[in-house]
A and B are shown apart, each in its own frame.
Chain A
Amino acid sequence: MRRLLALWEKEYLALSRDVQGLAVLFLMPAAFIVVMSLALSDVFKGGAARQTGFAVMAADPKLAERLAQGLSGDGFRAATVPADEAAAREGVRHGTPSLVLVVPRDFERALAAPLDGKSTPPELAVLADPALPPPQLLAFQQRVLGVVLGLRVSAMMRRAGIPANADALDLKHAATLKVETIGGTGRPSSVQQNVPAWLIFGMFFVVMPISALFIVERREGTLARLVSQQVPFSMLLFGKVGPYFVINLAQAALMLLAGRTLVPWFGGETLALPARWDLLAAVTASTSLAAIGWGLLVAVSSRTLEQATVIGGVGNILAAAVGGIMVPRFVMPDSMQKFSEASPMAWALDGFHAVILRQGGAGDIAAPCAKLLALAAALFAVALWVHHRRRVLTSVQ
């Protein structure tokens, strides 16, 4: 135990004097959390948070106003009506407004056509900004059809001698719809996605200081000296696990704090804390061990600092890109979502979301934690095997 404590103390002292290494481990994820939480806040809120401007062009100003009223709300707001269709096209090309509904002259007459499936329904055109997210365009289309249906039903009722107000037939007033997501708030908010995501990314970056010091130890002959002092190689590796485990825990605490204080201070949403801290600790610990295992394997396998930087850095970035750290998995196509399940960062993110987002129980984190721990054990074993295969423990010849 005394030898292990000496190794841990050395590792702490070395890391505490590595300013760049500490910056990578603490400042980088904190900066990503703040910047990405703020930058993506509207995207994560869905359509309601984005105010998409639209205009209605109709020959009858009253009809245009009625349609505009019906279409406004839920992230859509009426904008200034362009002078003519050419101006509308030019405006939409520049995104001002993002949408223009063009109502033909004979629209009101077409509304009176019977709803028998034989007559031609009224034709409308929507000019859309190509940069508009497809879900937003689809939502607008649904709103237009809803409003038009209200107008047609109203016209039909009038013909039948039943007094009807078209506004009252708006789909918005058809029923009150309450959506309840089971177990938390459903999809993550920006801060719920970005805090665990960039925390995981930062945790896996322990690969840099672990491999940097290990390669210096090998290059400078320190490792060879320790081996000649009968320090088992497995103990040398374990000597790195303890300190970096504590570093990872500190990262988790500070990144959660950033989500609670720093992000709202810059105007973002406050991170809601999980109900089960023990489960959060379990997910953090499992992620940490997998990250350290990865760091040890890169350290043992790489011959130079450059190799370790490339393997560790590129490996982390790829795992993050695939694993839903950089791009949330729910926006990925199905095939990519399946592929992303291969990334350990995706397992870790599943675990964190189970605790932070879904307020889940032990059963919900069991699978991600088991996968991470199995990976940690495998990486550690491979690191030992790679070392064992080498007869040469030192670079000297």
Chain B
Amino acid sequence: MGTLNVEALSFRYPGGGDAALEDVTLAIPAGRIFGLLGPNGAGKTTLISILAGQLRGATGSISVGDEPLEALRRRQPHNLGLVPQEFAFYPMLTCAENLRFFGGVQGLGGTRLKERIAAAAAFARIENVLRRRAGRLSGGLKRRLNLAIGLLTEPEILLLDEPTVGVDPQSRAFLLESIRALAGAGRTIVYTSHYMEEVEAICDRVAIIDHGRVLVSGALSEVIRGGAGLQELFMQLTHSSLRD
């Protein structure tokens, strides 16, 4: 899998005023964790949604290596996984039923589906709650189920949109460790978060965006060179005024 290239990407919501993304250019190397930072409303989720194929109408180009992302998506529809910031599963179904559904709807079946459910559940350490209704799980378990669903098809590109929001320190540490392990297996990971210490801990490269524009982008070590840290740089670039 080649580098994920985003070039001159712009997007405006229908009926919206300012552009949600404007001329965004990023290079996300394979096998790395790419941290996407920005205050609320900066455009992180919009970018993730466009990469995931949820938003239409963006201008610019997205490619993986030399192949346009759309072509790759058509050729290998399940090579790109999304773990959204919402608990995007069915609360009235059990964890096992959710995993079976999301696996089945992506074309997995029979023994292969069982194997993938077992592997994803084991990776997210939710084997013991597979028979519990998803809506009755704790916040941390819900995050882990959300992650497990995203891993069912073993995607090579994984988009993680604030995957640690609202979880306790133990679950957060577990999730970060898991994400590191996923990257170690050669996956390209795009990771958005508001927690600078998380990004500093696991990301190889970062980009800070605000008002839909890229303010800084590059290897983590280069971006924070000379500064006190990512938090200070972030505040410096995005200013300290309150956001929505």
Contact = CB atoms under 8 A, between A and B. Distances in A.
Interface of A: 2-3, 5-7, 9-10, 13-14, 17-18, 220-222, 224-231, 390-394, 396-397
B50 to A, nearest CB: 10
25 contacts: A2-B109, A3-B104, A3-B105, A3-B107, A6-B103, A7-B101, A9-B101, A10-B101, A13-B90, A13-B93, A17-B92, A17-B93, A220-B86, A221-B84, A227-B54, A228-B52, A230-B73, A230-B77, A231-B106, A390-B14, A391-B14, A392-B55, A396-B49, A396-B86, A397-B46
Contact of A393 (B55, B106, B108): B55
Task: Name the residue among B16, B20, B55 with the largest chain A CB count within 10 angstroms.
Answer: B55
Interface residues of B, number: 42
Contacts of B87: 220-221
B86 A221 contact: yes
Enumerate the 10 nearest inter-chain pairs by beta-carbon distance, A residue then B residue, closest first.
Answer: A6-B104, A221-B86, A230-B77, A228-B52, A221-B88, A225-B88, A391-B57, A6-B105, A10-B101, A17-B92
Nearest to B82: A228
A160 to B, nearest CB: 89
Given A2-B109, A3-B105, A225-B88, 17 more contacts: A2-B108, A6-B100, A6-B101, A6-B103, A10-B93, A13-B90, A13-B93, A17-B93, A221-B88, A222-B88, A224-B52, A228-B52, A228-B82, A230-B53, A390-B14, A391-B57, A393-B55
A9 B94 CA distance: 13
Contacts of B90: 10, 13-14, 222
B123 interface: no
B206 interface: no
B106 A3 contact: yes
Task: Name the residue among A226, A229, A230, A397 with the largest chain B CB count within 10 angstroms.
Answer: A229
Nearest to B76: A230
Interface of B: 13-14, 16, 20, 41, 45-46, 49, 52-57, 73, 77-78, 80, 82, 84-93, 97, 100-109, 149, 153
Contact of A394 (B49, B57, B78): B49
Contacts of B77: 229-230
Contacts, number: 105
A225 B82 contact: yes
A224 B84 contact: yes
Contacts of A5: 104
A224 B105 CA distance: 13
Contacts of A17: 92-93
B92 A392 contact: no
A13 B92 contact: yes
B105 A231 contact: yes
A18 B92 contact: yes
A231 B105 CA distance: 7
Contacts of A227: 53-54
Contacts of A9: 100-101, 104
B104 A230 contact: no
